[in-house]
Amino acid sequence: MTVAHSLGFPRIGARRELKFALEEYWSGQRSAADLQQLARSLRLQNWQHQREAGLDFVSVGDFSFYDQVLDTSALLGVVPERFGWNGGDVDLDTYFRMARGRAPSGQPAAACTLTKWFDTNYHYLEPEVTADQTFALSTDRLFEQVAEAQVAGFTPKPVLLGPVTWLWLARAVGGEFDRLTLLERVLDVYAQVLDRLAEAGVEWVQLDEPALVLDLPQAWRTAFEQAYHRLKAARVKLLLATYFGGLEDNLTLACNLPVAGLHVDAVSAPDELTLAADWLPSCKILSVGIVSGRNIWRTDLQAALNTLKAAQVKLGDRLWVAPSCSLLHVPVDRDQETDLDTELQSWLSFAVQKLGEIGLLKRALADQPDAVTEVELQAAAKIARGRLSSPRLHNEAVRNRLAELAKLPLARELPFSERHAIQQMARPLPAFPTTTIGSFPQTADIRQTRRDFRQGEISAADYEARIEAEIEATVAAQEALDIDVLVHGEAERNDMVEYFGEQLDGFAFTRFGWVQSYGSRCVKPPVLFGDVSRPQAMTVRWARYAASLTNRPMKGMLTGPVTILNWSFVRDDQPRAQTAQQIALALRDEVLDLEAAGIGIIQIDEAALREGLPLRRRAWQQYLDWAVDAFRLTASGVASETQIHTHMCYSQFNDIIASIARMDADVITIETSRSDKRLLNAFRDFDYPNDIGPGVYDIHSPNIPSVEAMVELLENAAKVIPAQRLWVNPDCGLKTRRWEEVQPALAAMVSAAKVLRQRFAGAGDAKRLTEDA
């Protein structure tokens, strides 16, 4: 009989119950006991769903108050010194202080670093390890939850981040050293954990080792052998789980590790399934991740069944069925989406529905599936296939226009140097021009206004009047601060992707489609289901109004095609590159409309361009090529005189800077305030040709930056970037800040720009200065 299981279930709750409970606890409005109580009831619900779907185990250990990597660090007793922990149990508040820097009790300290979890939009807390790091089993939470599941009558399969991946994700602090020197000590604790689980009567333990889908140095591949040969003495069966990609060069390694089972992601690497089935020693089970844990589409169960049946021929009862990865990355329950039309709703499958799909596949794989199973499976497959042939997915006009555009060169008419001169004539700007990234503080008032409008509590006319008033105030504030290139402030936008998705055809929005991004923070990605088109202009009205209020240049503000793509749930029936092109085409029209409305500077944000990089290096270039092409399709239709800006929220450019240059934006604004050294290296090694605004202060901090710090940053930048190509701006949008913070910070920023203008005036050619330095 085929075993069915899940790799993990969302912990946040169908109505984000955990988010709200956490925030109440943090603000002192809820007791720890109440928080624990809510957590227990969420776990029970999640297990109930798994049982109802007919799964053979429930996952335990996938629940977390913040992050599963942090949970593992706590389990291992890896708590950085600054949190003042003295061994013993890592209590809840120590845990929260590691995550957020503060908690209801204990001294605040700098939180651990949040980092993107592989290629998902989930973020984990980076473990910090020192050369003399000690490890000790330091929390019983996992064992308590195992007992909790057993008492409630479930068969638990504990899920743990594996030792090698945990160590791979850890950051060496207090001086460079080889993290692998810590492996044996890490394994000591894992061995104890497995022992305790065996004592608790656990049969299977899932150890997640997604690092196996990465390009690994040889030493780390060897570390996998070392680790699992050490752990093979455990009295539990180990299921080694890999996901988010193919194993490729690590396939034979993974197949041969001394564990009882291997899980492979057959959604992202379908071609590897046969290989894995062939290579796997006959004593091991193969868990096949066949239902996507990364998208929200109903699975074509007939196709999945065919794949599984072929594997079953080889594996017999050694075949297990599962989602491709933990269901953490999809929303909880589609059945709450009663606002969607029934057809669209029927195309979707969230975590609860995906469990159902897995259960159904298990039944269909039985020797003699019953008639009901057959009927259900056929019906489900029919709906999944119906989506692909639905006319709602196809827009001939969009496809024809793209085919036409493909014949044109996706380039500006003139090279940057010539455009630059024309732009400077059209809109003379001082040296070190100042600007911002787009958003200004989103006050409670603005959010209330948008909510009221959405809920029909204020009229469109009222809403527009209020937004106009906000724009007016924002423009006046920027003039008073003497900023050179102004923005309208984005008061009308709730979210930089949702705002555009809502106005484009081909997108749908859920009500409860929340996915955890980190801690209590969730995102609700739009659902991009069909060909994308733009029924009408999206931003022109506000941009035009803002421009009418000032004689200074007003920058139009758009979210770029790659960012919209990377932050949405995207259709799976065509390559992402093609979907990106369609978004780009719609945005290109918006760019041209802005230009026609007299907006001479247009910023196209690509905050998430780097996030889309494939996990494997050899796949990078192909992604970058189409991603940059999508940007160029958006931006290249304008006249030479129109200035295109782009913005990215990071400065890890060293390895992709040639592609960034190929975007050919006239100005790029980036984050540098927290990492100026890295940036400077990138620009020392690569002669970036266009204008750059290295973010001169960190908007994520409430601190007011000093003029001196910003002057210094700019002077350092001027050593590697010709001064005449430098812009002065914060490192990201200001929407999360308060006006009381923004006003003095921007005033200091403008002063810094003026200092630079003075210092570099009379030096004639700023290039010469660069050479002197």
* Catalytic sites, residue numbers: 700
Residue 605 or 698 with smaller CB distance to ligand GLN? 605
Q: Strand, coil or helix: what is 96?
A: helix
Contacts 24+ apart (CB under 8 A), 173-180: 173/80, 173/128, 173/129, 173/130, 174/130, 174/131, 175/131, 177/131, 178/219, 179/129, 180/219, 180/220, 180/223
520 versus 651: smaller Cβ distance to Zn ion:
651
Between 412 and 493, name the residue whose CB sits nearer to ligand GLN. Answer: 493
Q: Which is nearer to Zn ion, 291 or 734 (CB)?
A: 734
* Cα–Cα distance, 293 to 265 (Å, whole number): 10
Q: Do 51 and 60 touch, CB atoms closer than 8 A?
A: no
Q: How far, CA to CA in Å, does 269 sit from each of 119, 242, 761?
A: 15, 11, 58
Q: Which of 164, 280, 360, 437 binds ligand GLN (CB under 6 A)?
A: 437
58 binds, among Zn ion, ligand GLN, none (CB under 5 to 8 A by kind): none
Task: Give 534 or 735: the residue with its C-beta nearer to Zn ion.
Answer: 735
Which residue stretch of 224-232, 423-431, 432-440, 682-690 sits at the interface with ligand GLN (rule: CB under 6 A)? 432-440
* For ligand GLN, the closer CB: 190 or 440: 440
H-only helix segments in 200-340 = 218-231, 251-256, 272-279, 301-315
Dist. CA 742–CA 734, nearest whole Å: 7
Binding at 438: pick from Zn ion, ligand GLN, none (beta carbon under 5-8 Å per type): ligand GLN
Query: Could you give the CA distance from residue 373 to residue 364 in angstroms, rounded to a whole number?
Result: 6
Smallest separation (angstroms) from ligand GLN to the CB of 642: 18
The nearest distance, CB 440 to ligand GLN, in angstroms, is: 8
User: Using CB distances below 5 to 8 A depending on partner kind, what does residue 471 bind out of ligand GLN, Zn ion, none?
Assistant: none
Confirm or reject binding of residue 558 to Zn ion (CB under 5 A).
no
Handedness of CA 757, 762, 767, 770 (dihedral sign): negative
Judged by CB under 6 A, which of 496, 508, 665, 756 binds ligand GLN?
A: 496
Span near ligand GLN by CB under 6 A; candidates 50-58, 217-225, 433-441, 681-689: 433-441
Of all residues in the chain, what percent are helix, strand and coil, respectively (each to 5)? 50, 15, 40
What is the Cα–Cα distance from 437 to 487, expressed in whole angstroms?
A: 8
CA dist list (Å): 292 to 9, 43, 328, 350: 13, 22, 11, 10
Among candidates 201, 278, 190, 308, which has minimal Cα distance to 240?
A: 190
Nearest distance from residue 670's CB to Zn ion, in Å? Answer: 8
Neighbour-count burial of 394, counting CB atoms closer than 10 A to its CB (0-12 exposed, 13-18 middle, 19+ buried) = exposed
* Choices 199-207, 273-281, 386-394, 431-439; region in contact with ligand GLN by CB under 6 A: 431-439
Which member of 605, 666, 698, 731 binds ligand GLN (CB under 6 A)?
Answer: 605
**Of the two residues 191 and 657, which places its CB atom closer to Zn ion in the complex?**
657
Task: Fill in the per-residue mask, 630 to 669: x = in contact with Zn ion (CB under 5 A), - = not in contact.
Answer: -------------------x--------------------
When the beta carbons of 90 and 732 are compared against ligand GLN, the nearer one is 732
Q: Which residue spans within 310-366 are E strands per DSSP?
A: 319-323
One residue of 287, 439, 582, 634 binding ligand GLN per CB under 6 A: 439
Smallest gap from residue 597 Cβ to ligand GLN (A): 19
Contacts of 602 (CB under 8 A, 6+ apart): 555, 556, 557, 558, 591, 594, 595, 635, 638, 642, 643, 644, 645
Find tokens 């504990």 and name the residue: 158
Q: How many Cβ atoms are within 10 Å of 526's Cβ, its own excluded?
A: 24
Q: Which stretch binds ligand GLN (CB under 6 A): 59-67, 631-639, 714-722, 730-738?
A: 730-738
Residue nearest to ligand GLN (CB): 733
Out of 49, 412, 524, 735, the residue judged to bind ligand GLN by CB under 6 A:
735
**How many residues form the binding site for Zn ion (CB under 5 A)?**
2
Q: Which of 432, 650 has the CB closer to ligand GLN?
A: 650
CB of 567 to Zn ion, least distance (A): 13
Q: How far is the CB of 490 from Zn ion (least distance, A)?
A: 12
Q: Judge whether 556 and 603 are in contact, CB under 8 Å.
A: yes
Query: Residues 90, 649, 656, 692: which binds ligand GLN (CB under 6 A)?
Result: 649
Interface with Zn ion by CB under 5 A: which range of 216-224, 563-571, 591-599, 724-732?
Answer: 724-732
Q: Rounded CA gap, 671 and 653, in Å?
A: 11
Cβ proximity to ligand GLN, 418 vs 445, nearer residue: 445
Which H/E stretch holds residue 114? strand 114-116
Q: Which residues contact 700 (CB under 8 A, 6 or more apart)?
A: 732, 736
Shortest separation between residue 447's beta carbon and ligand GLN, angstroms? 14
Q: CA 314: distance to chain centroid?
A: 37
Span from 60-68, 239-247, 335-343, 731-739 in contact with Zn ion (CB under 5 A): 731-739
Positive or negative torsion for Cα 8, 13, 18, 19:
positive
Tokens representing residue 324 in the block: 């491709």
Task: Quote the tokens at residue 510.
Answer: 């859920």
The residues in 51-110 that bind ligand GLN, with binding defined as CB under 6 A, are none
Residue 60, token pair as written in the block: 């335990």
Binding residue for ligand GLN, selected from 329, 647, 725, 737, defined by CB under 6 A? 647
Cβ at position 508, least distance to ligand GLN in Å = 23
Among the listed residues 365, 246, 243, the one whose alpha carbon sits nearest the alpha carbon of residue 302: 365
Taking CB within 5 to 8 Å according to partner kind, which of ligand GLN, Zn ion, none is near residue 439?
Answer: ligand GLN
Q: Among residues 299 and 539, whose Cβ is nearest to Zn ion?
A: 539
Report the nearest approach of ligand GLN to the CB of residue 236 (Å). Answer: 44
* In the complex, least distance from residue 120 CB atom to ligand GLN, rounded to whole angstroms: 18
What is the secondary structure of 562-577 as a DSSP string?
HHHHHTSEE-SSS-HH
Q: Is 228 helix (H, G, I), strand (E, B) or coil?
A: helix
**Where in 732-761 is the site for Zn ion (CB under 5 A)?**
732
Residue 183 engages Zn ion in binding (rule: CB under 5 A)? no
Q: Helix 32-52 to helix 351-364 angle, to the nearest 10 degrees?
A: 30
Q: In the complex, what is the shortest distance from the CB of residue 513 to ligand GLN, in angstroms, rounded to a whole number? A: 20
Instruction: By CB under 6 A, name the binding residues for ligand GLN.
Output: 437-439, 490, 496, 557, 605, 607, 647, 649, 732-733, 735
Q: Which residues bind Zn ion (CB under 5 A)?
A: 649, 732
